[in-house]
Chain A
Amino acid sequence: NAGVTQTPKFQVLKTGQSMTLQCAQDMNHNSMYWYRQDPGMGLRLIYYSASEGTTDKGEVPNGYNVSRLNKREFSLRLESAAPSQTSVYFCASGRQGRNEKLFFGSGTQLSVL
């Protein structure tokens, strides 16, 4: 019953530090996504991977990189964290094709000081 698992749940960074958020899903989904949630702005798409071996930019990709390590895992890297990247990050996955809902992880609360 794991679904989408994100680690860590909480993280505090100093400006300029780097870190990787990990995401894994056990539902054999092709598509995986990284969103960030900020107050009053809903969820905004950072990067996504429609299938293993492909990644594409979303609405707010600047300052981030991603790796689709295999079908299960999709990581998000902040190379040089900035206070503007303080946010809650959600990983999601879904079956290929239109009209398929996304399943979300429990989120990572990141603070950059």
Chain B
Amino acid sequence: AQKITQTQPGMFVQEKEAVTLDCTYDTSDPSYGLFWYKQPSSGEMIFLIYQGSYDQQNATEGRYSLNFQKARKSANLVISASQLGDSAMYFCAMQEGGGNKLTFGTGTQLKVEL
């Protein structure tokens, strides 16, 4: 079974609109972390936001927020007020079982349109 599932290979959003990128995960470890990274066309991996399994509140970082629904095992990324520079590949990743290695999903390609 896939540990991290991103079901949207590609998404389009109008500039200034909000967009939600889906991520579901599978783990039996009660203590885990969920991360989102952005990969622009230049190729670098940019950390966006983190949510711990025991965190009571949803994480937010500027225009990024994480809609964490623990019972449903989902950790969706919400980008508010989309900008052209948000066009990129977005990866959801999970850390579990001790240590800090990450398991990644297959990614969602986001395109922001005028």
Contacts and interface: CB of A to CB of B under 8 A. Distances in A.
B32 to A, nearest CB: 8
A97 B31 CA distance: 12
B68 interface: no
Given A40-B106, A41-B106, A43-B91, A101 B47 contact: yes
A: contact size bracket: 20 to 34
A104 B45 contact: yes
Interface string B15-38: 000000000000000010101010
A43 B101 CA distance: 12
B62 to A, nearest CB: 16
Contacts of A40: 9, 106
Interface in B27-64: 31, 33, 35, 37, 43-45, 47, 50, 52
B37 to A, nearest CB: 8
B100 A107 contact: no
A1 interface: no
Interface of A: 31, 33, 35, 40-45, 48, 50, 58-59, 88, 90, 92, 94-104, 106-107
